[in-house]
Amino acid sequence: MNRPTRRSVAIGAASLAGMAALPRRLAAAGPAVGETETHGLSIFGDLRYGPDFARFDYVDPAAPKGGTLALQIKRTGGNQNFDTFNTLNTYVLRGDGAAGMEATFDALMAGGADEAGSVYGLVARAVRVSADRLTYRFGLRPEARFHDGSRLTARDVAFSLGVLKAKGHPTYRSLLTEVEAVEADGDEALTVRFSPRRSRDVHLLVAGMPIFSEAWWRGRDFEAATLEAPLGSGSYKVARFEQGRFIEFERVADYWARDLPVNVGQNNFDRVRWEYFRDRQVAFEAFKTGVVTFHEENTSRIWATGYDFPAVRDGRVRREDLPNDMPSGAQGWYFNTRRELFRDPRVREAIGLAFDFEWTNQNIMFSSFKRTASFFDNSDMRAVGAPSPEELALLEPFRGRVPDEVFGEPYVPPVSDGSGQDRRLLRRADELFREAGCTRAGGVLRLPSGKPFEIEFLDFQPSLQPHTQPFQANLKRLGIEARSRIVDPAQYQRRMDDYDYDIASRNAGGALIPGDFLKLAYGSAAAATPGSRNIAGIADPAVDALLDRISLAASRPELVVACRALDRVLRAGRYWVPMWYRAADWLAYWDMFGRPATKPRYGTGAPGTWWVDPAKAKRIGMG
């Protein structure tokens, strides 16, 4: 389930070589010279909670257990697909992974939702950090167990990190590149050694990786799709499922870590059921009838007009608009710059001018959204105005190799007249096409090669068509043959993995403390890796250098400066047609839940800290 735990810290491959001996147990001797022992890890060194904390402040320790939560997948990681699943192994490239599988695995440490970039002991009870921050020695809890009762040991952790690095999804392989060695000695001691060029947050990524059973995977192909649930140790385990339709998890009643501070007040539902629907309207009908009981709404039309049904009118279904302090993420139509027709940034900018956000927001989205301009909107990392002296210090080495615009005001999409076909913007688009060497004859725009200009927008569902079709109509006015191709989810995922598309939409997601994940979306190495998140194919040395500065930033002020500099370079590249965002979450749910009195700072706390209230459920006929 989408809960604010360790899965918000990391999106989750044969063991690493060199399994040298370590001291017998972490607890057997004091820290070595220069080592520091700690109950938690953070990016910049500060921890909100002390070594004796009992729980996170935003949970209710008396939250009752019981009941069923039914919901839909709204965010994906690894090989997951919004519309279907055909494998229970979500950590490899092959297949479409099922929702919720992350809850079946524990990690070394777990994070909370009221501070950024910190984790606390789960499988690991403590960790010792070398003075140079290149060696981390984890002491594991002897009580840690897999669901079959077998002991979870340091060897399982070493296996897990090794197999993810060697055979996991490209996302995990990339995140683990700076891990030089993982060494286990006995059951309770594990050492992880990092490259001297380690990034600022790689220790948190390692601490949040899922732990697999080495014995269970022995003789099995880790890279294969499978409908056999891998053995885990987490708070839930797979109960039953029907491929592509639903998957249900049951709470592990004797879960070994249920009373640890990072778990108190959470994992409250006896059963969590993920429902799949190929059609968004059908999915909403399922919510209206109570098949789905908790719903995050993403469609402004439905939020504005779709909630006039009996269960809302009589109070059985409630709606909330909750402010969100998280960075908005970078949602847009991304150009596949690996293709010749999108190589020229003037062409990319011209295409973007054909999208009339003002008309779309007013006529289709009920004026519910703001226009995205930055890759870091709704945060202090958004570039504004002229570069500061600190930003210029990072950007000057690239003068002459990046657009001059980088050293002035950052690019902001122009505001249209709201007519849906702003002639001023379309004339400017035509000028840019001509500057890029395109020609027009008989109303057809031709590329410099002489080929007709044709664009295909790839998607797996039609929900964006009301927004895309007016955009495409303006492109046709400019002489471009623009069309949509809606394919089934499996084919969509294959084409995305193989970079077989012209334009595709995606929300790159936002983070309070950006780090190595940005390399997966914008780095040159990711651009050449099938299945990566770099769908635009961005391969720019200046971007790579700034991504390194972000990963190595030693303080938040340094991080903010580096992100603003990166924002300027990315925006100058015109790699996307930015869409929209809102600084709030739209939640709708059947009024059968209880919740803590305190909302976490970063997120809603829903549904991970909620529980079923039997009296409420009975009152609305759901008990």
Residue 307 falls inside a structural domain:
no
Last residue of a domain, one of 154, 188, 217: 217
Residue 493 falls inside a structural domain:
yes
**Alpha-helix runs per DSSP H in 213-277:** 214-217
Give the model's pLDDT for residue 1.
Answer: 43
The dihedrals phi and psi of 297, each to the nearest 5 degrees, come to -90, 130
Point out the residues of the chain with pLDDT beneath 70: 1-30
DSSP assignment of 433-469 equals HHHTT-EEETTEEE-TTS-B-EEEEEESSGGGHHHHH
Last residue of a domain, one of 217, 249, 271: 217
Q: What is the CATH number of the domain that holds 387?
A: 3.10.105.10
Give the model's pLDDT for residue 44.
Answer: 87
Element (H, E) at 581: strand 580-581
Q: Identity (one letter) of the amino acid at 57?
A: D
SS3 (DSSP) at 357: helix
What sign for the dihedral angle of Cα 164, 255, 64, 290?
positive
Give the model's pLDDT for residue 320.
Answer: 95
Give the model's pLDDT for residue 384.
Answer: 97
Residue 258 falls inside a structural domain:
no
DSSP letter at 231? P
Q: What's the domain range around 115?
A: 6-217
Same domain, 73 and 196: yes
β-sheet bridge partners, residue 121 = 109
Cβ atoms within 10 Å of 415's Cβ, excluding its own = 12
Give the model's pLDDT for residue 17.
Answer: 31
Q: CA 246 to CA 251: how far, in whole Å? A: 17
Cβ(267)–Cβ(251) below 8 Å: yes
SS3 (DSSP) at 265: coil
Residue 590 falls inside a structural domain:
no
Give the model's pLDDT for residue 34.
Answer: 79
Q: CA 520 to CA 532: how far, in whole Å? A: 6
Q: CA 136 to CA 154: how far, in whole Å? A: 13
Q: CA 201 to CA 11: how far, in whole Å? A: 13
Q: What is the CATH number of the domain that holds 36?
A: 3.40.190.10
Last residue of a domain, one of 217, 233, 252: 217
Element (H, E) at 275: strand 271-275
What sign for the dihedral angle of Cα 492, 340, 333, 442?
negative
pTM: 0.85
Give the model's pLDDT for residue 13.
Answer: 31
Q: CA 158 to CA 188: how far, in whole Å? A: 12
Residue 11 falls inside a structural domain:
yes
Residue 507 falls inside a structural domain:
yes
Cβ atoms within 10 Å of 242's Cβ, excluding its own = 9
Same domain, 485 and 341: yes
Residue 286 falls inside a structural domain:
no
For residue 146, give every residue at least 6 positions away whose Cβ sits within 8 Å of its Cβ, in sequence order, or none.
152, 213, 216, 231, 232, 233
Cβ atoms within 10 Å of 266's Cβ, excluding its own = 25
Give the model's pLDDT for residue 411.
Answer: 97
Cβ atoms within 10 Å of 36's Cβ, excluding its own = 11
* Domain count for the chain: 2
Residue 36 falls inside a structural domain:
yes
Give the model's pLDDT for residue 30.
Answer: 66
Give the model's pLDDT for residue 326.
Answer: 81
DSSP letter at 151? B
